[in-house]
Amino acid sequence: FLFYVLCEVDERGFHPVGYYSKEKYSDVGYNLACILTFPCHQRKGYGRFLIDFSYELSKKEDKVGSPEKPMSDLGQQAYKPYWTSTIIDFLLNESEKSMSIMDISKKTSIIAEDIIFTMNMLGLLKYINGVYFITAERTLLQELAKKHPVKEPRVDPFQLHWTPYLTDIKRDKFSIHSKKPTIEGDITSRAAGGF
């Protein structure tokens, strides 16, 4: 396991406020195994910060991930708002008119199953003939963004200097590089003579 400890800093030094752990390599794509914010530091946004941090590290690893399952009730209380605000924020700020769940997954590093769960919960998906369709009008997304804002503190990915624990990308099915392109990208590459 790898452990990441979050600290507050003052003139007396570093003071741990929480941590999370993750497996060095997860066969099922978990990017977080255990998370804890010490009781005297709860309600400060540190749990959400650690969740955000776990996904930012997944982005640096070029992977999609999910917390270890099954999740506890408290885990669900922490993750549902995070997924909701992250996905809504992404959809509002993305300039692409057409995108797939896999596109959202690649950009947010949230595994497709968690995106489908969240978007179903929000009523943003339609399932027609075995295919999911995203139905998110801008006004609805703006309304949802007011109900589910992205909260502080947030991880600044530009301040994150970290080298991933290296694994064999060819056998890593959660690597973004192993994900299939969108249908439009596939059609474009075939039209250009690629395959």
Residue 45 — φ and ψ, nearest 5°?
Answer: 90, 5
pTM score, two decimals? 0.84
What does each of the 195 residues of the chain score in pLDDT, given as a tens digit? 999 999 999 999 999 999 999 998 888 899 999 999 999 999 999 999 999 999 999 999 999 999 999 999 999 999 999 999 999 999 999 877 788 899 999 999 999 999 999 999 999 998 889 888 888 889 999 999 999 999 999 999 999 998 887 766 555 667 776 666 555 443 332 333 333
Query: Which residues are marked as active site?
Result: 68
